[in-house]
A and B are shown apart, each in its own frame.
Chain A
Amino acid sequence: MNPVLGRRQLMLGGIAGTAAVGLGLSACSDGAGSGGEGGEVTHMQFFLSGDANQGGGYAHMAAKYQEETGIEVEIVDVANEDLTTKLKNAALANDLPALARVGSIDATWKDVTMDLRDILDTNDVKSELAAIDPDGKVLSLPSDITAVGMFLNKTLFDAAGATYPAVGEEPWTWDEFTETIRSVQAATGASYGMVMDRSAHRLKAFLYEFGSNTFELVDGAFETNENTKPALEYFYGLNDDSFMPRSVWLSDGDPNGLFKSGDVVAYCSGSWQIADFAVNIADFEWVSVYMPKQPVRVTNYGNAASIVVFEGTGQEQAALDFVNWLYTPENYTELSETSGFLPAVNGITVTYADNAEAFELYNEEIEASDEVAARLKTQDLEGEIEGRTIEGDPLRDETVKYLNDEQDVDTTIANIIELLNASL
Chain B
Amino acid sequence: MMTKLRSYGPATLLLWVLVLIYLFPVAWFILSSFKPGSELFSLPLSILPENWTFSGYITAWNRFNFAQYFFNTGLVAVVTTVLTVFVSAMTGYALAKYKAKWLSVFFICILATTMLPTEVIMPSTFVVIRDLGLYNQLAGIIVPSVITATGIFMFRQYFKTVPDELLEAARIDGVGEIRAFFSIMLPLAKPIAVTLAIFSFQWRWNDYIWPLLVLNDPNRYTLQLALRSIVGADNIDWSVLLSASVISLIPMVVLFFVFQKQIMNADMNSGLKD
The chain B residues found within 8 Å of chain A, CB to CB, are 36-43, 63, 75, 79, 82-83, 86, 126-127, 130, 133-139, 142-143, 179, 182-184, 186-187, 190, 193, 212-214, 216-220, 228-235, 237-239
Contacts and interface: CB of A to CB of B under 8 A. Distances in A.
Interface string A54-91: 10000000000000000000101111111001100110
A18 to B, nearest CB: 9
Contact of B235 (A5, A14, A272): A272
B41 A257 contact: yes
Contacts of A197: 234
A347 B53 CA distance: 42
B233 A280 contact: no
B229 A79 contact: yes
B72 to A, nearest CB: 10
A85 to B, nearest CB: 7
Contacts of A275: 235
Interface string A255-268: 01110111100000
A7 B42 CA distance: 60
Contact of B217 (A1, A31, A52, A272): A31
Residue of A2, A27, A53, A82 most packed against chain B (CB within 10 A): A53
A89 B213 contact: yes
Contacts of A49: 229, 232-233
A353 interface: no
A95 B213 CA distance: 12
B36 A282 contact: yes
Given A92-B130, A262-B43, A24 B184 contact: no
Given A4-B193, A21-B142, A50-B229, 18 more contacts: A2-B187, A24-B75, A24-B137, A24-B139, A25-B139, A27-B137, A31-B219, A32-B136, A45-B216, A52-B63, A76-B218, A77-B218, A80-B232, A81-B231, A82-B228, A257-B41, A269-B234, A270-B234
A80 B139 contact: no
A28 B136 contact: yes
Contacts of A25: 133-134, 137, 139
B38 A280 contact: yes
Interface string A235-248: 00000000000000
A256 B63 CA distance: 24
Contacts of A219: none
Residue of A93, A95, A275 most packed against chain B (CB within 10 A): A93
Interface in A71-119: 74, 76-82, 85-86, 89-90, 92-93, 95, 97, 103
Contacts, number: 152
Given A3-B186, A25-B137, A260 B217 contact: no
A313 B190 CA distance: 50
A269 B43 CA distance: 21
B82 A13 contact: yes
B38 A80 contact: no
Contacts of A283: 38, 42
Contacts of B130: 92-93
8 contacts: A17-B82, A24-B137, A49-B229, A53-B230, A93-B130, A263-B43, A276-B235, A305-B233
Contacts of B63: 52
Given A24-B137, A90-B216, A54 B82 contact: no
A20 interface: yes
A332 to B, nearest CB: 20
A80 B231 contact: yes
A275 B232 CA distance: 13
A3 B232 contact: no
A256 B130 CA distance: 41
A129 B84 CA distance: 51
A368 interface: no
A86 B228 CA distance: 13
A419 B75 CA distance: 47
Contact of A261 (B43, B127, B234): B43
B232 A1 contact: no
A263 B182 CA distance: 66
B233 A50 contact: yes
Contacts of A54: 232
A95 B216 contact: yes
A4 B213 contact: no
Contacts of A260: 38, 40-42
B136 A280 contact: no
A1 B187 contact: yes
Interface string A7-45: 100100110010011001101110110000000000001
B212 A20 contact: no
Nearest to B179: A7
B65 to A, nearest CB: 12
A79 B186 contact: no
B186 A32 contact: no
Closest 4 A-B residue pairs measured CB to CB?
Answer: A50-B232, A282-B38, A280-B37, A28-B137
Contact of B190 (A4, A146, A272): A4
Nearest to A2: B187
Given A4-B193, A17-B82, A32-B217, A93 B135 contact: yes
Contacts of A423: none
Given A31-B136, A53-B237, A77 B229 contact: yes
B183 A28 contact: no
B220 A28 contact: yes
Contacts of A273: 234-235
A90 B220 CA distance: 15
Given A49-B229, A80-B232, A86 B212 contact: yes
Residue of A24, A32, A78, A90 most packed against chain B (CB within 10 A): A24
A85 B212 contact: yes
A275 B233 CA distance: 14
A327 B196 CA distance: 54
B193 A53 contact: no
